[in-house]
Chains A and B, each alone.
Chain A
Amino acid sequence: DSGVTQTPKHLITATGQRVTLRCSPRSGDLSVYWYQQSLDQGLQFLIQYYNGEERAKGNILERFSAQQFPDLHSELNLSSLELGDSALYFCASSPPSGLAGGQETQYFGPGTRLLVL
């Protein structure tokens, strides 16, 4: 158990719909990262937040958005869903720089499996 929690574990929805994925980082971690893993593929970095602010952006579609709240949990919003959005969505967290273990190590949650029908 990495200490990162994600809800829900599974989500089934229809094309055109909107869903929200939730992530709670490990205690003390300020950074949250979102990744998308399509079937039998590697992980694609979507976006990073640090203490409520967006810090890095990867291949995130305009239909997708994220935010990090004052209590440090994060939500990934996916809208106008398409069949190709079906994937496993991971959240990861890392400590702030200067702490033992360092910001370079990311701890992954169990993922949310999204199926768009």
Chain B
Amino acid sequence: AQTVTQSQPEMSVQEAETVTLSCTYDTSENNYYLFWYKQPPSRQMILVIRQEAYKQQNATENRFSVNFQKAAKSFSLKISDSQLGDTAMYFCAFMTIYYNNNDMRFGAGTRLTVKP
């Protein structure tokens, strides 16, 4: 069974600084996708970034980037130039893809607070 572990229940960072959120996963699959979702106080689930396991290049989206280490089964999220609006719960998620048959497994989340 696939499991996703986020070992940091809470983190904080000063505005404009950089923070890294950790995620590890366990799977015997070779092809899969990894995601980071953000859940602000509104509780909306917002996709931050995704990574295809077959791609060696780390994904980036503006201030958000990942460090994907496939052999170590590690998928960390780096937020640069943190902004107050980045305050949210961040969930790491793992998904294997079968033809139109897939479910996503989430970690327990990391609560990030950006301080002014």
Contacts and interface: CB of A to CB of B under 8 A. Distances in A.
A76 interface: no
B50 A88 contact: no
A70 B43 CA distance: 29
Among all A-B residue pairs, the 10 with the closest Cβ atoms: A108-B45, A42-B106, A55-B101, A56-B103, A43-B106, A45-B103, A50-B100, A104-B33, A42-B108, A42-B109
Interface string B79-101: 00000000000010001010111
Contacts of B95: 104
B104 interface: yes
Interface of A: 2, 30-31, 33, 41-45, 48, 50-51, 55-56, 58, 88, 90, 92, 96-97, 103-108, 110-111, 113
Interface string B32-45: 01000100000111
B106 A48 contact: no
B100 A103 contact: yes
Given A90-B45, A104-B33, A45 B108 contact: no
A44 B105 CA distance: 7
Contacts of A44: 106
B62 interface: no
Contacts of A58: 103
B50 A104 contact: yes
B103 A108 contact: no
Given A42-B109, A43-B91, A97 B104 contact: no
Interface of B: 33, 37, 43-47, 50, 52, 91, 95, 97, 99-109
B43 A88 contact: yes
A47 to B, nearest CB: 8
Task: Name the residue among B33, B45, B106, B107 with the largest chain A CB count within 10 angstroms.
Answer: B45
A108 B44 contact: yes
Contacts of A48: 101-103
Contact of B99 (A2, A41, A97): A97
A51 B101 CA distance: 11
A103 B103 contact: no
